[in-house]
Amino acid sequence: MTAPKKAMVLAAGLGTRMRPLTNDRPKALVEVAGRTLIDHMLDRLAEAGVETAVVNVHAFADRLETHLKARTGAPQIVISDERGELLETGGGLRKARPLLGEDPVFVANIDSVWTQDGVPAIDSLAQAWDPERMDVCLLLARLDRTLGFDGAGDIFMSDEGALTFRGEAPSAPFAYMGVHICKPDLVDDGPEGAFSLATIWRRLAPLGRVHGVVMDGFWMHVGDPGARDEAEAKLAEAKAG
């Protein structure tokens, strides 16, 4: 399969857990190891061949747009303006549909950074993508190779890569680490306004249409100031080692 050339980067969140670092900026502009969270993600996407990134904006939207305009090189940035209403992941994707087209796209949160071993994480996701068998393919991390994720795991995966969600189970071996590929039309029947993509995934998973691939590397969820500090220390350790 050809890897998607377009991505949706979800950067419109309020970042309340990241305060006080987000008192004067969006979460996307919080720095980890000298680079903003959104630049970490955009650079990863560019390395995977993404040519255009649609970025949604809400809190401190002007400041984020100014930062994005100053970027050079790939990917080209297109803004999806959510200043009027925060739409969550599903609503944000639905609003951006005219900018995304009909081909499969990467969708990425901005609160994930990672180190890589072996196949680059986003490349492994693209290699696993098969639109005949799946509508969504999630990039996953092993719980023992994460920082900043305080849950008991989200997901079980079959030998064929099909996913089921933890539900009432006490734990699950994998966590969704913030990047996936999907067919953008899966949000076309979503409700007006704000809604979560996870509601669609949970509907599709029993049909065998949600798959995943486990990344080679170490994932850091940067959700609050403490997690930011831990991520910086881990990245410094990886760079030194």
Answer yes or no: is 157 within a domain: yes
Please give the span between the terminal C-alpha atoms of the chain, in angstroms, as a whole number.
Answer: 34
Calculate the alpha carbon distances from 132 to 81, 105, 124, 128, 129 in Å.
32, 15, 18, 12, 9
Q: Which residues pair with 80 in a beta bridge?
A: 56
Asked if the peptide bond before residue 206 counts as cis, ω within 30 degrees of 0, the response is no
User: What percent of the chain shows pLDDT beyond 70?
Assistant: 99
At residue 126, the 3 state secondary structure works out as helix
Query: What is the strand order of the sheet 217-221 is part of?
Result: 112-116, 217-221, 146-147
Answer yes or no: is 12 within a domain: yes
Total domains present in the chain: 1
Answer yes or no: is 88 within a domain: yes
The CATH number of residue 161's host domain is 3.90.550.10
Answer yes or no: is 214 within a domain: yes
A 10 A CB-CB count for 100 gives 23
Q: What is the pLDDT of residues 108-136, one digit of tens each?
A: 999 999 998 888 999 999 999 999 999 99
Predicted TM-score of the model (pTM): 0.94
pLDDT at 197 over 90: yes
Q: What is the pLDDT of residues 141-193, one digit of tens each?
A: 999 999 998 888 989 999 999 999 998 889 999 999 999 999 999 999 888 89
Closest CA to 39 of 113, 138, 149, 116: 113
The identity of residue 51, as a single letter, is: E
pLDDT range class, residue 1, cuts 50, 70, 90: low
pLDDT at 168: 87
- The range of the structural domain enclosing residue 205 comes to 6-240
Q: Are 74 and 182 in contact (CB under 8 A)?
A: no
């969708």: which residue's tokens? Answer: 107
Answer yes or no: is 63 within a domain: yes
pLDDT at 52 over 90: yes
pLDDT at 32: 96
How far apart CA 23 and CA 116 sit, in angstroms, is 31
Answer yes or no: is 223 within a domain: yes
Answer yes or no: is 1 within a domain: no
> What's the token pair of residue 104?
């499969």
Answer yes or no: is 149 within a domain: yes
